[in-house]
């Protein structure tokens, strides 16, 4: 006979005549326990005040390991439904859905060449996972996530939406502006505008390589999937530069005279004419042993290409958004609904790094270096050959050492702040994907607290709190 944890008054309770057990969706221990309690109470609404009946019927809503757990509870340990529900939730808390802080919405950015409809859908799904927050704040974050210079971005400034329903209507507006008529191709124009102060290389596309059209390549994104001439991000950038009074010498003269400068002063300095072509390859080169075979030359070419790509990303803060500032950081009292106490858990975050949502990021104030696992770098589409500073010895506190495969610079999005971080690439960081140490913490002027399970820093907009995941921390061991 199976044992029961109920006290005697529940054991001897008889359900009312005519009572039928509802058809529950039985719980097996893999889903959110809070959702199951809510589901159970909804189906038992008519008997919600009958505590003994709630207890006695509850095992009928369990199956598998959760039902075995129920029968293993100590005898006489459950005297009311509150005791039973608290024991149940405590047992399966690790299966609970982790409610995200609103700061996680800052990590959701509109990817280059992603349709507005796809982005609004992705943003809306993320909002559903966030704790209760004001719609004004959500809409402000949404507007900052849209690529500046796009028609939709400009329409948001002219007519700000007030609800998520208004945003859903946005993607139906025209997304693609008419092309600005130029006297040169966009591909030839690109080398001429790289030195301008307003020029910015775009973020990586973050598109699945298997879905890309590898017959098309964009020089601006340095990636496949579309051509330079059809790149919307480059079109928006050029249009923005022309509005700012630049590049007008490249406007096509047959555009009906609308875009051609009207005041032609023969005495004024003439703008430099567009070059006929860009020379990107010269045959020949050094003839020493380092270049004496095709394989060696290709290896050196890959190394130079990787270095050029990495050097295009500068260390430090990017963009014109909020910046970390000095000040007093205040940790709030521990919220028992968010953080299990007592605990000895490490601090594990999930952050957007190079347009990838990376999980299992260990915050380690004891590490002087920021480390990334080689498999993560490969998954992001970066080559491990030709990294800078290979062969560096990294020593641990216990005297053990590992050899770095090299350094790579990746943009790390923390709330509203993006910081280009130089990582040392190592072969194995298991069970972590990334370790962020004192270098990142000091750049961010951030204070971590394993006790509070959060990292906090200040901007002019206020204190930003990044919350860790105890579930992820416990899955690492």
Q: What is the pTM of this model?
A: 0.38
Q: What is the arithmetic mean of pLDDT over 268-280?
A: 37
What pLDDT does 47 receive? 65
Q: What is the rounded (10 degree) CA torsion for 14, 16, 21, 27?
A: -50
Q: What is the arithmetic mean of pLDDT over 108-121?
A: 69
Distances (CA, A) of 113 to 105, 116, 148, 207, 332: 20, 9, 13, 9, 41
> Is pLDDT of 297 > 60?
no
What pLDDT does 60 receive? 92
Percent over 90 (pLDDT), the chain: 17
What pLDDT does 295 receive? 66
What pLDDT does 323 receive? 86
Topology given in CATH for the domain delimited by 348-475: Cathepsin D, subunit A; domain 1 (2.40.70)
Topology given in CATH for the domain delimited by 102-172: 1.10.1200
For residue range 368-397, what is the model confidence (pLDDT) as tens digits? 889 999 989 888 888 888 788 888 888 765
**Are 127 and 181 a contacting pair, CB within 8 Å?**
no
State the CB neighbour count (10 A cutoff) for residue 386.
19
Q: List, in order, residues 6 or more apart from 339 with CB less than 8 Å away.
A: 452, 453, 470
Give the Cα separation of 70 and 28 in Å (integer): 11
What pLDDT does 365 receive? 92
Give the Cα separation of 351 and 354 in Å (integer): 10
Residue range(s) occupied by CATH 2.40.70.10 in the chain: 348-475
Q: What does pLDDT average to over the chain?
A: 75
What pLDDT does 275 receive? 40
Q: Note the Cα 128 to chain centre separation in Å.
A: 16
Q: Please identify which residue in the block is written with the tokens 């598109």.
A: 207
Tokens linked to 135: 């719609």
What pLDDT does 7 receive? 92
pLDDT band at 357 (very low <50, low <70, confident <90, very high): confident
Residue range(s) occupied by CATH 1.10.1200 in the chain: 102-172
């Amino acid at each position: 006979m199976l044992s029961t944890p109920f006290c005697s008054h529940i054991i001897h309770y008889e359900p009312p005549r005519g009572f039928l057990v509802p058809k529950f969706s039985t719980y097996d221990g893999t889903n959110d326990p809070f959702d199951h309690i809510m589901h159970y109470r909804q189906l038992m609404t008519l008997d919600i005040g009958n505590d003994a009946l709630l207890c006695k019927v509850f095992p009928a809503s369990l199956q598998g390991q959760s039902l075995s757990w129920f029968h293993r509870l100590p005898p006489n340990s459950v005297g009311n439904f509150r005791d039973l529900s608290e024991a149940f939730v405590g047992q399966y808390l690790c299966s609970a859905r982790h409610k995200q802080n609103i700061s996680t919405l800052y990590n959701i950015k509109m990817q280059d060449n992603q349709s507005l409809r796809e982005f609004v859908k992705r943003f809306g799904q993320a909002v559903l996972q966030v704790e209760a927050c004001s719609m004004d704040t959500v809409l402000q974050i949404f507007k900052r996530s849209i690529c500046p210079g796009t028609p939709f971005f400009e329409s948001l400034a002219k007519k700000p939406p007030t609800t998520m329903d208004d945003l859903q209507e946005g993607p139906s507006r025209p997304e693609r502006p008419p092309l600005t008529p130029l006297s040169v191709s966009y591909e030839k124009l690109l080398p001429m505008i790289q030195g301008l102060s307003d020029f910015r290389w775009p973020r990586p596309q973050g598109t699945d390589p298997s879905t890309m059209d590898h017959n098309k390549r964009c020089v601006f994104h340095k990636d496949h999937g579309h051509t330079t001439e059809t790149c919307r991000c480059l079109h928006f950038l050029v249009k923005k530069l022309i509005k700012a009074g630049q590049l007008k010498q490249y406007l096509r003269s047959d555009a009906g005279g609308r875009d051609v400068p009207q005041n032609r002063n023969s005495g004024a300095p003439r703008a430099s004419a567009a070059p006929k072509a860009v020379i990107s390859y010269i045959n020949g080169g050094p003839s020493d042993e380092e270049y004496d075979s095709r394989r060696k030359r290709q290896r050196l070419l890959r190394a130079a290409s990787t270095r050029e790509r990495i050097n295009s990303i500068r260390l430090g803060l990017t963009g014109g958004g909020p910046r970390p500032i000095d000040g007093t950081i205040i940790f709030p009292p521990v919220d028992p609904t968010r953080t299990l106490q007592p605990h000895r858990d490490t601090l594990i975050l999930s952050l957007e790094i190079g347009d990838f949502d990376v999980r299992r990021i260990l915050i380690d104030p004891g590490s002087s270096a920021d480390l990334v696992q080689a498999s993560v770098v490969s998954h992001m589409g970066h080559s491990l050959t030709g990294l800078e500073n290979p062969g560096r010895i990294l020593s641990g506190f216990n005297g053990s050492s590992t050899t770095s495969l090299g350094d790579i610079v990746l943009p790390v999005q923390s709330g509203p702040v993006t910081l280009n971080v130089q990582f040392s690439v190592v072969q194995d960081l298991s069970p972590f994907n990334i370790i962020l140490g004192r270098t990142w913490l000091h750049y961010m002027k951030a204070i971590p607290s394993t006790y509070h399970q959060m990292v906090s820093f200040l901007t002019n907009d206020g204190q930003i709190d990044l919350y860790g995941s105890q579930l992820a921390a416990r899955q690492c061991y």
